[in-house]
Structure 1
Amino acid sequence: MPLNRLVIYARDVEATVLFYERHFGFTAVRMPGDRIIELVSPEGGAALMVHPAGKGQKSGQAVVKLVFDVADVEDFRVRSAENGLDFGPVHRADGYVFANAKDPCGNSIQVSSRGFRQR
């Protein structure tokens, strides 16, 4: 059974939607009367569902990290910085590299070349 959707609870839904549209190319799908905004990627993969956070929910304390596959992590970091998203340093792992950042809600995100590594 495939994983098709991930829910992000956001204090500022619009800022979160704009973040994922601007930096990762998602498109917002808004349905009349629905408070959840679904973000879909033109490249496929799981959709992100941005849901208004409840008053008792704390931002950025989830134990989930969203990882986006990019072939050239350093190039993506440079382009992202030009658009206002700063990633931390590039880390080297077993045949791939990655860098980490946070979304507007404080959720951990990562860009990684793991999906492109030679096996």
Structure 2
Amino acid sequence: METKTNILDSLKGEKNPFKVPEGYFESLGPVLQEVIDQKENVVKTETFLSRFRPMLYAAASVAILVCVTFTFLTNHQENVDQARNQVPEEINGIQTKILYTHLEEESIIDYLLSEEE
């Protein structure tokens, strides 16, 4: 523990570890003014793409929305058609099962025996 305390004490110092290069603040003003002047001289020109970019984004959004809607409606219609085709088949199967539940065993046996003859 004593060695850690000694290290900490040795790291503490009254001297500031950060240094500024000599003449930094004297040359800072002219350098900043030069950078500002260069930025003021640059003239922005509008390109075709930068002018119509918002419209392109809107058109792309509408196109994506149309594609998603078309895909959803097409799949929905296929599911409806498939369901319409399955319903009559299932109803016929249910009707047949209902008929079989009302038959007595003797009737079934007689029917099967009559087929063998």
**Structure 1 and Structure 2 fold alike (TM over 0.5):** no
Please classify the TM superposition score into its range, dividing by the shorter chain length: under 0.3
Structure number with greater CO (CA < 8 Å, separation at least 6) is 1
Length-normalised TM-score, structure 1: 0.15
Task: Say which structure is richer in strand.
Answer: 1
Q: Which has the larger radius of gyration?
A: 2
Length-normalised TM-score, structure 2: 0.15
